[in-house]
Amino acid sequence: QSSKFKAYLCNGTVEIRDREDMNAIFANGFFGKGSHSKSKPTESPSEVLCLLLEEAFFLSAFVTCLDIYCEKSRETQAAFGIDIKQPKTCKELGPCDLWTSFCKANPQFPERYAVYHHFRSRGWIVKSGIKFGADFLFYKDSPEKIHASYSVVVHSIDNFPQSEPMLSPSALDFAALERLTRMSRNAAKALMICLVGCEVGSQRMLPPEVSPRDKKNSADPALSTATNEEVSVPLSDEKMQPGRSSWLVQPLVVEKWFPKDRKLT
């Protein structure tokens, strides 16, 4: 049985082209961005709704409301590592194919999706943060009504052990951290560093494991509080095979220390 909405891979991005599909996807969760606008798609005949790879995978593999197709074009097949044989001109991609293709398009996709899935499934609206030099922006409500609460940078940690309660951010580039902190502060946002690692024994480049409990939790509209705690992220989809990969995400909210404002005692 086909899902309601259709999207197409196009030169490294995912596009929704049907007018009704565009409006419905954006209205129900603020997914995507109009190709000719800053947010909501316009009425321009050439307008398409562009999805982040993380948004596309979430809607297709987790929410299961989106069918994604790869058209037979040299640029698209090269970007996503997909080979479409004759005489097909369009190929529908399942969750495992999408995961492999998105990892090909962006080698950091597994870590980015772990962060996206964790916060989006807990009620946060997650948008691209490239405008502010970050990976994502986190909103508590409609991006058309309020500014983002956090600028988010995803930082990969190798061999993330389950037994270690906290990870030192000593490996971070503190010059870049200073620039991001200043930029976020000037834009009235807090900076969040998400340390992400694949659990020991998991295979990073394979799709996530099945977790029905995670799917149940996604219906909870309550917003989670971003704190400096370690959380387990069981990513899931009923169509995927179990035992693939499991991720841990540790969000750290960064605040700049001003000696004149905070005296030592």
Q: State yes or no: is 256 an active-site residue.
A: no
- The C-alpha atoms of residue 257 and residue 264 are separated, in whole angstroms, by 11
Catalytic residue among 189, 215, 216, 260: 189
Among 36, 131, 147, 256, the one annotated catalytic: 147
Are 152 and 192 contacting, i.e. CB atoms less than 8 angstroms apart?
Answer: yes
Nearest CA among 180, 198, 169, 168 for reference residue 137: 180
The tokens for 219 are 């219906």
> Measured between alpha carbons, how far is 157 from 180 in angstroms, rounded to an integer?
19
Q: Which amino acid is at 132?
A: F
Structure tokens at 218: 């996604």
Q: Is 38 marked active-site?
A: no
Any catalytic annotation for residue 147?
Answer: yes
154-183 in b/e form (b: 16+ CB < 10 A) is bbbbeebeeeeeebeeeebeeeebeebbeb
Q: Among residues 113, 116, 139, 150, which one is catalytic?
A: 139
Query: Which active-site residues does the annotation give?
Result: 139, 147, 189
